[in-house]
Amino acid sequence: MSLYLYELPTTGAISFSDFCTDSAERLYTNHISDTTQARANLRAALKESKRTHDGEKDYLKLVKILEEYLPRLRGILACVASGQIQLKAEPTFSWRTTLSANLFNTSPRLSLPSLDADYAYSLLTYAFALSNLARAKISSLGTYEHDRAISDADRKAKDSQLTVAADLLCRTSGIFSYISETVLGDWESTSSFASSAFTKPPDLSREVNSALAKSSLADAQTLAIRKLLSKSAYDSNVTPGPPLPKSHPSPALISKLHLECASLYSSARTLAKTPSSAGKGKPKGTSADGEVSADLRRYLHDETVFHDALARKWLGVDAGENGGADRGGDAVGFLIWAKKELEELKGRKKDRVSDELETVNVFLKHYKKVNDSLHFQPVPTQADLQSRIPTGRLALSAKTYVPPQPAFGPGSLEDIRRKAEELEVDDDDSVEDMNKTQGSYAGAGSYF
């Protein structure tokens, strides 16, 4: 199982008190200081992660730090929008871009204008960290479903971890979509950067974030497929290949799930290859057209081919197991096609491809022998087989990202509580005024 490993960015130090001025009531002075501290914690965590080897990185710690910082940053944004905090000047935040296809294999550092830019990059980092956390969880599981000694209870417990990781990736997909559809649009509408010489990096492109949303959802779907096949994979440990164990889910369903994975990865690759508009201000060392890194594009290409191949494999198995005598040729044809596509990837995804090629060869050998000796069906051309491929099917959906409530300022619990207290005071004053009025009329205090 392979998930893309995102390189985490780093960011420069900044103090919000340098450019934020509290209102005359000075309600937010402490909050401004706390936001600076929360961002300093984020900067320190990212620097620590950069110095730590992959297997030792604490992505959960980083996720929690981001979940502490984002509500505070939203508080600053809300207060600035309402005029309760004024900006002395437009702030500039330093972030090191990590998705750019650059010439010198280093991550360029960018100076990004406006609070919205920091919000966008913090959310981007949040999505990267969640995806990497899912990847770390999967790596710790190993190929447990092929462990002949594993107990049924242990296998189910590891299946549950697959569900947790898939959920993280569905959340990740929702965050990337939120950045693409909401945050970047808000930034463009509220900041002067759009008309300036500044050019956004691929990391902050709507197309690229939409691509990452699709890729993350496809990653989640691969985990759903793996969980679906977990029991049958264990049952097939001793005798892999046909006939399928009773625990095996429908091969036709599995093929449709892989087809949807391939479609998502393919769409993501197309979006990721959409060039950013060229212009001034492009970081030194980046590619001329603003493409994302070659590693990410290669990952999306290889996953597309891999899942297309697995879809052919399971279409072949479905034809061989459930198609009857008249589909013997289809079974052989789809498996030959799957074998051809897997062999194209052999040099890049060695373990995964080798394992799949081994099972494809087992099925192909069996169905070819049956067709040559019993069915005598012609093997269709690849073009004929293409016309028989169904549409894909989605097993999971992205989780819509709901931004956290501001930690302070308009929309925060603190603000709601303060307004409620003011209403209570007003109500008390109104009652007191009414009592005074009642006490002043003729005959007050004399009840008949």
Out of 1.25.40.280, 1.25.10.10, 2.40.30.10, 1.10.3720.10, the CATH code matching 16-386 is: 1.25.40.280
| pLDDT tens track for 357-393 | 999 999 999 999 999 999 999 999 999 999 999 999 9
Rounded percentage of the chain residues whose pLDDT exceeds 70: 88
Domain boundaries, the chain: 16-386
Asked, as a colleague might, if the bond just before 243 is cis with ω within 30 of 0, I would say yes
Mean pLDDT of 76-87: 94
Coil, strand, or helix at residue 110? strand
Report the alpha-carbon distance of residue 30 to residue 22 in Å, rounded: 10
Token readout for 177 is 């979509």
* pLDDT of 284 above 50: no
Q: What is the pLDDT of residue 23?
A: 77
Angle of helix 29-51 versus helix 59-82 axis, rounded to 10: 150
Q: What is the pLDDT of residue 281?
A: 40
Mean pLDDT of 318-340: 95
- Beta strands 92-96 and 109-113, pairing class: antiparallel
Report the alpha-carbon distance of residue 364 to residue 366 in Å, rounded: 5
* Mean pLDDT, rounded, of the chain: 88
Which residues, 6+ apart, have CB-to-CB distance to 174 below 8 Å? Answer: 213, 398, 399, 400, 401
Q: What is the pLDDT of residue 54?
A: 81
Return the residue matching tokens 């080798």.
354
Least confident of 16-30, 87-101, 196-210: 196-210
- 298-337 as b/e: b if 16+ CB within 10 A: ebbbbbbbbbbbbbbbbbbbbbbbebeeebbbbbbbbbbb
Look at residues 198, 370, 372 and name the one whose alpha carbon lies nearest to residue 281: 198
350 pLDDT band, cuts 50/70/90, is: confident
Return the residue matching tokens 């007191």.
432
Q: What is the pLDDT of residue 347?
A: 80
Mean pLDDT of 291-302: 92
Whole-prediction pTM: 0.90
Rounded percentage of the chain residues whose pLDDT exceeds 90: 75
Q: Terminal CA-to-CA distance of the chain, rounded, Å?
A: 87
Q: How many CB atoms lie within 10 A of CB 176?
A: 27
Token readout for 35 is 């936001």
* pLDDT of 73 above 50: yes
Residue 354's identity, in one-letter code, is S
